[in-house]
Amino acid sequence: MVFLVMLVIAIGVVVLVMRAAASQGGNGNGGGGLRRPRPPRGPRPPQRSVGPDDDPDFLRELDRRSRRDDGSAPA
């Protein structure tokens, strides 16, 4: 019976030590010596890219190139 009580106490101590080590390592105070500092974040890339067939500037330029100087469409 004493062995069982000692086992439960030991497990509780291990859990508390693990939680304390995890909380110290997450705030950058040197608790987790294996962690490297994060590089600073730069500007984010655009979330959604626009294909050429959806880009109004591209379509306008394509239309301008396909027309001749006299305004008629190519044959």
pLDDT-derived band at 31 (thresholds 50, 70, 90) equals very low
DSSP 17-65: HHHHHHHHHTTTSSSSTTPPPPPPP-PPPPSS---GGG-HHHHHHHHHH
**Distance between CA atoms of residues 18 and 62, nearest Å:** 63
When pLDDT is cut at 50, 70 and 90, the band that residue 35 belongs to is low
pLDDT at 27: 52
In one-letter notation, the amino acid at residue 6 is M
User: Is the whole model's pTM more than 0.75, yes or no?
Assistant: no
Find tokens 């390592």 and name the residue: 25
- Say which amino acid occupies 40: P
Mean pLDDT, to the nearest integer, of 36-50? 73
